[in-house]
Amino acid sequence: MPDKRRKRGTGGMKQAIRIAILGAFLLFASGCAAPKEDGIVLRVANWEEYIDEGDWDKEDEIVLGDGTSVMGVNPMVEDFTRWYQETYGEKVTVEYSTFGTNEDLYNQLAIGDRFDVVCPSEYMIMKLMAEGKVQPFSEEFFDMGTEENYYAKGVSPYIYQRLKQQKIQGCALAEYAACYMWGTLGFVYNPDRITKEEASDWNLLRSRKFYKQITVKDSVRDCYFAAAGMLHQKEVSSEKFRNAADYPERLSEKLNDASPETISRIEQLLTEVKENSYSFETDSGKSDLVTQKVSANLQWSGDAVYSMEQAAEDGVTLKYAVPDSCTNLWFDGWCLLREGIEGDREKQHAAEAFVNFLSRPDNVIRNMNYIGYTSAVAGGEDDLVYQYAEWCYGADEEQKDTVEYPLGYFFSGNPQDKRYIMTAEKEQSDGELFSQYPPEDVLKRSVVMAYFDAVTNKRINRMWTNVRCFDIKNLIPW
């Protein structure tokens, strides 16, 4: 017996040493993970490369018509902490992280990551709203009288209106999300191979004329919308449908239809698209267009701007077209997460200030210039953002081939506003200007894609795997 006890004794000693070593290791690790902070800690999650990171070269400086200079010296996040300290006299530390897809963000939240302010796309915001995970912005945030409320003062009246119409369980999206970037869905195409008319038709995706020449985004929602466009385009383009009083509602209802019959028809269409297209791309669409491996690519307008810029550098001309029948109006917006903020007023204030800082006209220009997407902020009284649009796309005085491009609907809410009719190069009206600021009639035919409930979502995902999977029937011939 005593012998045994001694053995256990030494065993205990060893155990103790092991535990001590492990403990020391854990202590060290936790010491690294949690540095001491004072002031407010704001946890921000945003898309990759979706904010100005500063460090511009001298030649990147933007000098606008009225002589204002815009330049990104420091990363936007750093500028924000400095601005917050100066304006409100409080220290804020931003923990900035990025995500790759809306689903990644959702998965991160599901496994318990905590953020205060995040920037998902419209359908994910609606999903988070329906699940009660986001909270509305405060009333102060929408107070136009406060100097620092750049979002409330500057957001485009048109975009704000669309956000107000979008309702989830009776709550308007506009109260829960501050729109950051927005755009349309369409085709970037090579005008040497495809005409504008061909690219203005959803059926381009299954046209035998362009067999294995078109890439499609590897994304269920965008493909679903494109196929729904194919399915309904004849009907929704008819005079009768267009002139109906409740045209916007009916259009939205048609394109967001996800009944089992529609899903199975969309599955057939997408299978045709799969057979006909070059590939479903995740990241290669832009470069394949520039290297001319493909002739067109289903893309978001923001990426289209980037593709066209890149292609121009390589001496290739690309254009952007939105199908005549209908398109998807998408946007990414900042929203406040309930589980992150936890009712902390100071934190909410900092989060709202962050959104406001990003909406300050000079910062809007910095972000737009860096990302290439279109900001939802028009600038309100301040016309800096419009000056930037003119700086980008306005025609020189000696240029002959110009068009009048009215943007009043976006900048002031009045389509006829004389101040916002841009004289632009004709080239731009179906190129970068068209994709960055589409004309009003394109948006009249646009639909915000709703989020689908769990059952429908499951059906659509199953439809999507069915489309993507290799059909065993195709194996048998060989």
| Closer to other proteins by Cβ: residue 285 or 394 | 285
Least CB distance from residue 173 to other proteins, whole Å?
22
The pairing of beta strand 178-183 with beta strand 330-337: antiparallel
Should residue 99 be labelled a site residue for other proteins when binding is judged by CB under 8 A?
no
Should residue 457 be labelled a site residue for other proteins when binding is judged by CB under 8 A?
yes
Options 14, 82, 209, 234; binder of other proteins; rule CB under 8 A:
14
Q: Which of residues 292-311 bind other proteins (CB under 8 A)?
A: 293
Least CB distance from residue 468 to other proteins, whole Å?
5
Should residue 465 be labelled a site residue for other proteins when binding is judged by CB under 8 A?
yes
Should residue 220 be labelled a site residue for other proteins when binding is judged by CB under 8 A?
yes
Total binding residues toward other proteins, as defined by CB under 8 A: 40
CA distances from 179 to 151, 325, 362 (A): 9, 25, 17
Options 149, 156, 190, 277; binder of other proteins; rule CB under 8 A:
277
Measured CA to CA, the distance from residue 448 to residue 321 in angstroms comes to: 18
Measured CA to CA, the distance from residue 165 to residue 177 in angstroms comes to: 13
| Closer to other proteins by Cβ: residue 252 or 277 | 277
Q: Please state the separation of Cα 389 from the chain's center in Å.
A: 20
Note whether 435 and 184 are within 8 A (CB).
Answer: yes
Q: Residue 3 phi/psi, 5° resolution?
A: -55, -45
Should residue 330 be labelled a site residue for other proteins when binding is judged by CB under 8 A?
no
| Closer to other proteins by Cβ: residue 85 or 282 | 282
Should residue 283 be labelled a site residue for other proteins when binding is judged by CB under 8 A?
yes
Options 53, 113, 218, 272; binder of other proteins; rule CB under 8 A:
218
106: left (phi over 0), alpha (psi -120 to 50) or beta: alpha
Contacts of residue 401, defined as CB under 8 A and 6 or more positions apart, other chains included, come to: 425, 426, 427
Give, for 224, the enclosing helix (H) or strand (E). helix 220-237
Beta strand ranges found along 87-206 (DSSP E)? 92-99, 117-118, 134-135, 167-168, 171-172, 178-183, 185-189
Q: Cα 89–91–94 angle (5° rounding)? A: 135
Options 242, 250, 265, 274; binder of other proteins; rule CB under 8 A:
274
Q: Residue 228 phi/psi, 5° resolution?
A: -60, -35
| Closer to other proteins by Cβ: residue 60 or 471 | 471
Angle between helix 260-276 and helix 454-468 axes, rounded to 10 deg: 30
Measured CA to CA, the distance from residue 358 to residue 99 in angstroms comes to: 19
For tokens 């698209």, the residue is 273
Should residue 466 be labelled a site residue for other proteins when binding is judged by CB under 8 A?
yes
For tokens 């300050």, the residue is 360
Options 69, 86, 470, 477; binder of other proteins; rule CB under 8 A:
470
Should residue 464 be labelled a site residue for other proteins when binding is judged by CB under 8 A?
yes
Least CB distance from residue 107 to other proteins, whole Å?
6
Closest CA to 356 of 92, 146, 103, 104: 146
| Closer to other proteins by Cβ: residue 53 or 218 | 218
Q: Which of residues 157-186 bind other proteins (CB under 8 A)?
A: none
Options 50, 106, 247, 391; binder of other proteins; rule CB under 8 A:
106
Q: Which of residues 183-212 bind other proteins (CB under 8 A)?
A: 212
Options 74, 101, 138, 165; binder of other proteins; rule CB under 8 A:
101
Stretch that binds other proteins, among 11-19, 66-74, 321-329, 386-394 (CB under 8 A): 11-19
Options 280, 409, 437, 452; binder of other proteins; rule CB under 8 A:
280
Measured CA to CA, the distance from residue 173 to residue 121 in angstroms comes to: 12
User: By the criterion CB under 8 A, which residues form the site for other proteins?
Assistant: 13-14, 17-18, 22, 101, 103-104, 106-107, 110, 212-213, 218, 220, 274, 277-284, 291, 293, 457-458, 461, 464-466, 468-475
